[in-house]
A and B are shown apart, each in its own frame.
Chain A
Amino acid sequence: MSPSTPARSRMCRTAVVLAASALLAVLVAACGSSSNSPGTASAANAANTSSASNSNSGVAAAQQVVAQAMQRPSTVSVTTPVGKPVPSGKKIVFISCGIAVCDLQGKIVAKATSLLGWSTSTIATTGTPTSVLAAYDTAVRQGANAIVTTAALRAEIASKLPALQAKGIVISNCCTTDPVAAPFIYNTSTPAQAAVGGKILAAEVVADSKGKANALYVNLPAYSILSSLGSTFASSYKQYCSSCGYASIDVAITQLATAPNLIVSYLRSHPSVNYVVLSVANALDNGLPAALSAAGLSNVKIVGQGGGPTDYQYVASGQELALLPFDYYTVDYQMVDALARHFAGVPVQMTAPPEWLMTKANVPSNISTEFPVVTGYQSQFLKLWGK
Chain B
Amino acid sequence: MQRNDALRPVPAPEPGAVDTKRPNPSRLPMTTRWLRGLAFNRIGAVYVWLGIVVVFSIWVPSTFPTLSTVKQVFNANALTALAALAITIPLAARVFDLSFAYTMTLSGVITAHFLGVGVPLVPAVLLGLGAGVLIGVINAVVVVVMRIDSFIGTLATGSLIQALITMATGGTAIISTRLQGGFAKIGQTNVSGFTLPVAYVLVVAIAMWFLLEHTATGRRLYATGFNSDAAKLAGVRVDRLRFMSLVVSGSLAGAAGLVLASTIGSGDPSAGTSYLLPAFAAAFLGATQLKHGRFNAFGTLIAVLLLGTGTTGLGLANAPQWAADMFVGAVLIASLAVTGIQRRSVTGSPGRLRSLLQRFRAVAG
Contacts and interface: CB of A to CB of B under 8 A. Distances in A.
Whether chain A touches chain B in the assembled complex (some CB pair under 8 Å): yes
Interface of A: 1-4, 7-9, 11-12, 14-15, 18-19, 21-30, 32-33, 36-37, 40-41, 99-101, 103-104, 221, 249-252, 254-258, 260-266, 268-269, 286-287, 289-291, 293-296, 308-310, 312-314, 316-317, 319, 367-370
A101 B62 contact: no
Interface residues of B, number: 85
Nearest to B184: A290
B97 interface: no
A22 B319 contact: no
A24 B330 CA distance: 9
Given A11-B345, A33-B318, A252-B322, A294 B190 contact: yes
Given A29-B314, A29-B319, A290-B264, A264 B330 contact: no
Given A11-B341, A99-B171, A309-B173, 13 more contacts: A12-B2, A19-B47, A30-B59, A30-B317, A104-B170, A250-B320, A261-B72, A269-B315, A291-B75, A294-B71, A309-B172, A310-B173, A310-B268
Q: What are the 7 closest A-B residue pairs judged by CB atoms, nearest first?
A: A100-B171, A265-B315, A257-B274, A29-B323, A22-B334, A25-B330, A252-B321
Given A2-B346, A30-B319, A101-B171, A286 B271 contact: yes
Contacts of B333: 18, 22
B145 to A, nearest CB: 32
20 contacts: A8-B345, A12-B1, A18-B334, A19-B51, A23-B55, A26-B59, A30-B317, A33-B317, A33-B318, A255-B321, A260-B76, A261-B76, A265-B312, A266-B318, A287-B265, A291-B76, A294-B193, A310-B175, A313-B265, A319-B265
Given A8-B345, A23-B55, A26-B327, A264 B171 contact: no
A19 B76 CA distance: 25
B325 A254 contact: yes
B67 to A, nearest CB: 11
Nearest to B1: A12
Q: Is the interface of B mostly helix, strand, loop or mixed?
A: helix
A1 B346 contact: yes
Contacts of B269: 100
B325 A29 contact: no
Nearest to A28: B326
B324 A37 contact: no
B344 interface: yes
A15 B336 CA distance: 10
B58 to A, nearest CB: 10
Nearest to B78: A294
A316 to B, nearest CB: 7
A269 B60 contact: yes
Contacts of A313: 175-177, 179-180, 265-266
Nearest to A25: B330
B327 A29 contact: yes
Interface in B196-250: none
Nearest to B323: A29
B287 interface: no
A221 B321 contact: yes
Nearest to A32: B320
Nearest to B343: A11
Given A12-B1, A18-B337, A286 B264 contact: yes
B3 interface: yes
Given A4-B2, A269-B62, A369-B172, A22 B330 contact: yes
B338 A29 contact: no
Given A18-B337, A19-B51, A26 B266 contact: no
Interface string B54-83: 011001101100001101100110000000
Given A19-B51, A100-B171, A266-B315, A258 B76 contact: yes
A133 B172 CA distance: 26
A310 B180 CA distance: 11
A64 B186 CA distance: 41
